[in-house]
Amino acid sequence: MGAGPDAEDVLQDVWLRTQAVKTPIAQPRAYLYRMVYTVVLDRRRQARRAATRDGAWIRDQDVDEPRATPTPERSLLAREALRAVETRLAILGEPAATILRRHRLGGETQKAIAADLGMGLSTVEKHLRRAYAALLDVSEDET
């Protein structure tokens, strides 16, 4: 994909992370893919944030402050985003909200959640789909 130096950086990160691993790995290949995936995603997000931040800074150059420091304005935006998510979660309702939380914050597998809540795997998947449709910019699919 023509991203040579970046790929090298990714490898470097992956290497550093493999160095940090303390316990034996059961599924080395899957583990490694997951790690590369996480690094790539992290770097994409960081690049996007840096770009947004730089853009905002250039627009108002007389503000001479370290860019990483949150301004009152920025934390207000963050609070607003938070409230918006809370509202959407409330509208979404249960069990979708709980499933989303357990899966993405608790790190539980979809299978484990399905077993625990006594529902099928496809039902858990459907709830997660609904949750994302409510919280991200995607349209809800009826298939």
Site residues (CB under 8 A) for other proteins, limited to 81-120: 81-82, 85-86, 89-90, 94, 97-98, 100-111
Are 35 and 14 contacting, i.e. CB atoms less than 8 angstroms apart?
yes
- Identify which of residues 4 and 72 has a Cβ nearer to other proteins in the complex: 4
| 64 forms part of the interface with other proteins (CB under 8 A) | no
Binder among 76, 77, 115, 138 for other proteins (CB under 8 A): 138
Phi then psi dihedrals of residue 30, to 5 deg: -60, -40
Peptide bond before residue 72 is cis, with ω within 30 degrees of 0: no
Pick out residues in 1-60 that bind other proteins (CB under 8 A).
1-4, 6-12, 14-16, 18-19, 21, 23-25, 27-34, 36-37, 39-48, 50
Q: State the DSSP string of 19-46.
A: HH--S--SSHHHHHHHHHHHHHHHHHHH
